[in-house]
Amino acid sequence: MYAGGCSAATLSGYTNAERELMTDFLGYKNKRVVVSGCFSGIGEATARQLLQLGAEVHGLDYKQSKLDLASFRLVDLRDPASIDAAAAAIGGKVDALFNCAGLPQTSPPLDVMKVNYAGTRRLTEKIVPLMGQGSAIASVASIAGLGWSRRLPVLMELLQIDSYEGAVKWSETHADVVREGYSFSKEAIVVWTMMTAASLIKGGIRMNCTMPGPTQTPMMAHFEAASQRSVLEAATQPINRRSSPEEQAAPLVFVNSSVASYLNGVALPVDGGLLGGIATGRIDPRTMMGSAS
């Protein structure tokens, strides 16, 4: 199989130029991309798919990646200096950024906020100056962030703070709002994406995020430890299974691709139909809180 998903037999009747176009439908060949969280899970699957599509992949993570990347740097998103050093070392032009790093709700709430929101935002803001017309940013949020609209005023209060240190201080003083950190950090990613996309597009840079449903990654063990089994199972409705990391990586790769050039400011549910079921009354959202009658 070719990277674009067409077999050799399928392409046998085409010219070399036509074959090249069809196998690079998403436009990643020789593009320079950055993937945070590439050690495992969705980030690793994303980096692997990008490599298969011919991209020059630069990886960032707290743990060493085993993939054959153009470069890899150890980065701690809880440490602004670490983030700044990594962005500076990447240098050059960046065509796409994939923010896949994250911590589960079993980690200390402040660490969760640092990695899932403050660190992700700082990394993005350090990479943006390396991006130009036609480039794109995609971040991993979560269906745990579905409640963003109910907390929009407080989320906007946080988002108006433009420094890493300020965001951390705000999180410390609003522990009652942040709570376990995971849901609030993902809500923040959703709203930050929508807000920032409106300004970045003026310079030709698109920004979107995905909202994965339950996904079978190494992080899932932490979700199982922190949540009732019935709640996790309810979140897989109506497809009634967990997604694979590859199934979450593919939409990320798509939204940052050249064929998605008019897709901007979108929080894309990749949840097997859960949000659609809730919106149309086919799924009772209380089942995800363990309180359905």
Return all residues near 152 (Cβ < 8 A) that are at least 6 apart.
191
The verdict on whether 182 is a catalytic residue reads: yes
> How much of the chain, in percent, has pLDDT values that exceed 90?
83
Q: Which pLDDT tens digit goes with each residue over 165-176?
A: 999 999 999 999
> Which member of 28, 117, 164, 182 is catalytic?
182
Nearest to 38 by CA among 19, 20, 62: 62
Q: Which pLDDT tens digit goes with each residue over 184-202?
A: 999 999 999 999 999 999 9
> What CA–CA distance (Å, rounded) separates 148 from 161?
18
The pLDDT value given to residue 253: 98
Where do we find the tokens 């199989």?
1
List the domain boundaries for the chain: 26-284
Q: For the chain, how big is the Rg over CA atoms in Å?
A: 19
Nearest to 58 by CA among 42, 38, 41, 77: 38
Count, residues in the chain:
293
According to CATH, the topology of domain 26-284 is Rossmann fold (3.40.50)
pLDDT tops 60 at residue 81? yes
| The model scores a pTM over 0.85 | yes
